[in-house]
Amino acid sequence: MTGMTAPLRTWRGRVAVGLLVMLALLPWYSPWLDAAGIISQRFALTVMTRVVILAIAASSLNLILGYGGMVSFGHAVYIGIGGYTVGILTYHGIGSGFVQFPLAILLSALLALAIGALSLRTRGVYFIMITLAFAQLLYYVAVGLEAYGADDGLTIGRRSDFAGLIPIRGPNKFVAFYLLSFVVLLLVLGLVHRLVNSRFGMALRGTKSNDARMQALGFPTFRYRIVAFAIAGALCGLAGALLANHTEFISPAMMHWTRSGDLIVMVVLGGMGSLLGPVYGAVAFLLLEEFLPAALAMVLTWLHAGLTAVLGAAAAGDLDAWLKMAEYWQIALGTILILVVLYARGGIDGLFGRSRHG
Partner 1 sequence: MADAMLKIDSLIKRFGGLVATDSLSLEVEPGEVHALIGPNGAGKTTLIAQLSGFLRPDAGRIEFAGQDITDLPAAARVRLGLARSFQITSVLRDFTALDNVALAEQARQGHSFRFWRPARADPSLREPARAALREVGLADRADVVAALLSHGEQRQLEVAMALASDPRMLLLDEPMAGMGPEESARMVELLRGLRGRRTMLLVEHDMDAVFALADRITVLVYGRALATGTPAEIRANREVRVAYLGEGDG
Residues that bind partner 1 (CB under 8 A): 194-195, 197-203, 205-206, 209-210, 212-221, 224, 227, 357-358
Contact 239, 50 (CB under 8 A): no
Q: Nearer Cβ to partner 1, position 92 or 199? A: 199
Q: Nearer Cβ to partner 1, position 135 or 276? A: 276
Minimal distance, residue 234 CB to partner 1, in Å: 13
Could you give the CA distance from residue 204 to residue 222 in angstroms, rounded to a whole number? 10
Distance of CA 286 to the CA centre of its chain: 9
Pairing of strands 154-155, 249-250: antiparallel
Q: Nearer Cβ to partner 1, position 63 or 71? A: 63
CA-nearest of 63, 45, 247, 50 to 159 is 247
Minimal distance, residue 65 CB to partner 1, in Å: 15
Minimal distance, residue 60 CB to partner 1, in Å: 15
SS3 175: helix
Q: Nearer Cβ to partner 1, position 137 or 217? A: 217
Q: Nearer Cβ to partner 1, position 137 or 202? A: 202
Q: Nearer Cβ to partner 1, position 158 or 213? A: 213
Minimal distance, residue 240 CB to partner 1, in Å: 23
CA angle 12, 13, 14 (to 5 degrees): 95
Contact 245, 86 (CB under 8 A): yes
Please state, in angstroms and as integers, the Cα–Cα distance from residue 20 to each residue in 14, 55, 189, 243, 275, following that order: 10, 12, 11, 20, 12
Minimal distance, residue 357 CB to partner 1, in Å: 8
Distance of CA 55 to the CA centre of its chain: 4
Minimal distance, residue 256 CB to partner 1, in Å: 32
Sequence-distant (≥ 6) Cβ neighbours of residue 166 within 8 angstroms: 97, 176, 180
User: With b meaning 16 or more CB within 10 Å and e meaning fewer, what string describes 320-353?
Assistant: eebeeebeebeebbeeebeebeeeeebbbbbbbe
CA-nearest of 345, 171, 176 to 269 is 345
Q: Nearer Cβ to partner 1, position 197 or 330? A: 197
Q: Nearer Cβ to partner 1, position 7 or 167? A: 7
Minimal distance, residue 111 CB to partner 1, in Å: 21
CA-nearest of 299, 337, 342 to 319 is 299
Minimal distance, residue 203 CB to partner 1, in Å: 4
